[in-house]
Amino acid sequence: MSTVLSAGNGPTALLDQAGDLRRIVEEKRQELRHRGRGSHLRTLAVLSGKGGVGKSNVSVSLSCALADQGKRVVLLDADLGMANLDILCGVSAKYNLSHLVTGSRELNEILIPLEKRVFLLPGGVGLKEMADLDDEGMERVFDLLMTLEDQADILILDTGAGIHKGVLSFAHAADMTLLVTTPEPTSVRDAYGVIKSLGGGGQKPGEELMLVVNMAGSRDEAREVAERIRMASMQFLGNAPAYLGYILRDDSVERAVRSRKIFYRSHPSSSAANCIKRLTNELLRLWEGRPVPVEPKGLRSFFLRLTRNFFVER
């Protein structure tokens, strides 16, 4: 019986299919445990409450900075509506994850090398199409994606803005989520909306929500913005995200965007690039201080969690 949920199914069939999916996911998780195929690959979702806060620039620059520290990074364009990371990176994406889902292209035809140790995986609408596959189709795509395990230490997801179902699903599936805001009142308000939708600072063991203040006028302004968000979250939600750090407002970022260059590479000594370096060092310090997870992680495990969120919780 197919596990695809369609509008024509009745309530009983929907419940049966949701139950089947939970069983399939749990069987896959048990299979991963018993295989001993644990992976130390980290998954990091980057999201924002509103557009225009520099979320994609943060994702790309963190990828490059992590590569400078010897990490192998796959950058997944996970914006379901406006996937355009290729433009920001100065490359052209002919194919995306939807071509892998349909079987019309191989993974090596979709994956774009940005530089040494950094690859771009255009996702876009292909991620939603994955959620509509039956279990046989998902297994096929999972097997194809597993080839990335040997060439990546970190998967960074540049998601869409807002509190749409898809965005929240990425946050819940990832090991860690960076919420990017700016000091602008509308950005602060929308960042709080994301935190509220995610349940404060994290709902489940292993989920972490970290706050990054972008385009700050100073370190003190960034800290004041972060504390305002954290205090409101603690007061009204009973939990709050941790403050990871800030990125100063820097004209070199806008110049790089206009010329389709990665600002972290085109202006490596800029104030914004130095802030990215500090954020990267803080991320690595956090990760290195964590014990090895009991449950094996990795690309397959991440996509299983993501698909489960798309199906069961919607």
The pLDDT of residue 263: 95
Residues 6+ apart with CB under 8 A from 164: 80
Spatial distance between the Cα atoms of 212 and 61, rounded to a whole number of angstroms: 14
The pLDDT of residue 6: 41
Weakly modelled stretches of the chain, pLDDT under 50: 1-8, 29-38, 202-206, 292, 294, 296, 311-314
Whether pTM > 0.85 for this model: the answer is no
The sign of the torsion formed by the CA atoms of 275, 113, 295, 17 equals: positive
The pLDDT of residue 195: 93
The pLDDT of residue 314: 43
The pLDDT of residue 224: 98
The pLDDT of residue 78: 83
The pLDDT of residue 168: 81
| Topology at the third CATH level for domain 39-312 | Rossmann fold (3.40.50)
Spatial distance between the Cα atoms of 66 and 232, rounded to a whole number of angstroms: 32
Residue 107 in contact with residue 187, Cβ under 8 Å? no
The pLDDT of residue 141: 76
Residues constituting the chain: 314
Whole-Å CA distances, 62 to 31, 257, 282: 33, 16, 11
Residue 313, Cβ neighbours under 10 Å: how many? 11
The pLDDT of residue 22: 54
The pLDDT of residue 291: 56
Task: Give bridge partners of residue 248 from the DSSP assignment.
Answer: 216
Residues 6+ apart with CB under 8 A from 161: 47, 48, 49, 50, 51, 53, 55, 167, 190
The amino acid sitting at 85 is L
Spatial distance between the Cα atoms of 195 and 197, rounded to a whole number of angstroms: 5
